[in-house]
Structure 1
Amino acid sequence: MSCRAGFVWETSQHFVRYIEDCGIPCELVTPYMLAAPYFHGSFSCLIIPTGFANPAYCRLLPALRASSGRIQKFVENGGNLLVFGAAIDRPYAYDWLPFPVTYRHDVFPRQVTCGPSELGAALVEDYDLSCIECDGSFPSHGGIIAGSCGDSPVIIEKTVGKGTVIVTSVHEYPSLAFVKKFCCQGTQTLF
């Protein structure tokens, strides 16, 4: 199986190096590439980091919204999608996903309890779950809760077609085991 990640951001970040250090080839996908109908990258997963909706950090949200149909098709065809916190108080910052998610921005360390999801638990397995930095929660969503702080979901999982979407407000890099599993579990497909 071929693993290949697409990191969606304006410029290269240390996160790209982290993914590559996990043994997964990673390509930067800029907002212009994402929204361009002629761009056809082949990936097993796409990763959208924290801050995607905050204009102080990037101009990614309009491109995500313009690409919502392509994102849905990518996941339906077996690609996996990992999306972090919006990092701004915009409840509908995730309206480009193929299922509903509402976000509440609120940054502080939390005690996270993982549900039955293997992926949700793997995402944070390298961290002390009694005190993990999160940038918000998801008061309403169309997925299953894979991790929460009390009654506040902080990791949501949803199967869409043949692929999986993980939405998280955990403000840390995903674990090495998670990156390897999530990226290689997806089917390399055209975006």
Structure 2
Amino acid sequence: MSCRAGFVWETPQHFVRYVEDCGVPCELVTPYMLAAPYFRGSFSCLIVPTGFANPAYCRLLPALRASSDRIRHFVENGGNLLVFGAAIDRPDAYDWLPFPVTYRHEVFPRKIACGSSELGMALVEDYDPSCIECDGTFPVHGGSTAGASGGSPLIIEKTVGKGTVVVTSVHEYPSRAFIKKFCASGIQTLF
């Protein structure tokens, strides 16, 4: 199966190179491209990195909101979506997702327990689960908890149509195995 990732940010980042080093072709998708109705990228996975809602880091949130219907259709048609912490205390930071998510910004290392979630375990497998840097929690959400610390959700997942959305506050790159698996399990579809 062919896989291709889209990395949503304003400028090139090292994360793009990391995804490519994992064996997954990756294209930068700027906020202008994301919100443009004529943009038709084909991806199996979209990645929205940490800080997407904080205006001190980028101007991505308005484009995500403007693209919320396209994002929902992308996931419903089989594309996977990986979203990191908003990096700002905004209750509405995730209002562009196809299910409710509330985020509380709190940066410090945590012990993560993933239970039986394969995606949760794969996401953090390159790290010591007793001490992983996280930038917040998800006190209210419409998904399944795939990783938690002391009862506070840190990784959530939800199937939407044929695709999967993973939202995480883990403030580290996901494991190489996770990138390969998550991108390859998505259906390459038009965004």
TM-score normalised according to structure 2 size: 0.99
For residue 103 of structure 1, give the secondary structure of its aligned residue in structure 2: strand
Q: Deviations over 1:19-77 (max 9, x none)?
A: 00000000000000000000000000000000000000000000000000000000000
1:112 equivalent in structure 2:
112
Q: Which amino acid in structure 1 is aligned with residue 63 of structure 2? A: A
Q: How much has 1:140 moved relative to structure 2?
A: 0.3
Q: How much has 1:141 moved relative to structure 2?
A: 0.2
Give the Cα separation in 2 of the matches to 1:118 and 1:86. 24
Q: How much has 1:92 moved relative to structure 2?
A: 1.5
Q: How much has 1:151 moved relative to structure 2?
A: 1.2
Give the Cα separation in 2 of the matches to 1:128 and 1:56. 30
- Consecutive unaligned residues of structure 2, counting only runs of 5 or more, are none
Q: Which amino acid in structure 1 is aligned with residue 100 of structure 2? A: P
Q: How does 1:149-160 map to 2 (within 5 A)?
A: 149-160=149-160
For residue 109 of structure 1, give the secondary structure of its aligned residue in structure 2: strand
Q: How much has 1:115 moved relative to structure 2?
A: 2.4
1:94 equivalent in structure 2:
94
Give the Cα separation in 1 of the matches to 2:116 and 2:131. 20
1:53 equivalent in structure 2:
53
Segment drifting more, 114-123 vs 142-151: 114-123
**Runs of 4+ residues deviating >6 angstroms:** none
For the pair 1:22 / 2:22, whether they are aligned, the reply is yes
For residue 78 of structure 2, give the secondary structure of its aligned residue in structure 1: coil
1:174 equivalent in structure 2:
174
Cα RMSD for the two superposed structures: 0.4
1:103–1:137 CA contact under 8 A, matched in 2: yes
Q: Which amino acid in structure 1 is aligned with residue 153 of structure 2? A: P
Q: Deviations over 1:55-114 (max 9, x none)?
A: 000000000000000000000000000000000011210000000000000000000000
Give the Cα separation in 2 of the matches to 1:29 and 1:12. 9
1:115–1:145 CA contact under 8 A, matched in 2: no
For the pair 1:7 / 2:7, whether they are aligned, the reply is yes
- Consecutive unaligned residues of structure 1, counting only runs of 5 or more, are none
For residue 63 of structure 1, give the secondary structure of its aligned residue in structure 2: helix
Q: Which amino acid in structure 1 is aligned with residue 7 of structure 2? A: F
Segment drifting more, 111-120 vs 21-30: 111-120
Give the Cα separation in 2 of the matches to 1:128 and 1:178. 15
For residue 20 of structure 2, give the secondary structure of its aligned residue in structure 1: helix
2:128 equivalent in structure 1:
128
Q: Which amino acid in structure 1 is aligned with residue 95 of structure 2? A: D
1:83–1:166 CA contact under 8 A, matched in 2: yes
1:78–1:186 CA contact under 8 A, matched in 2: yes
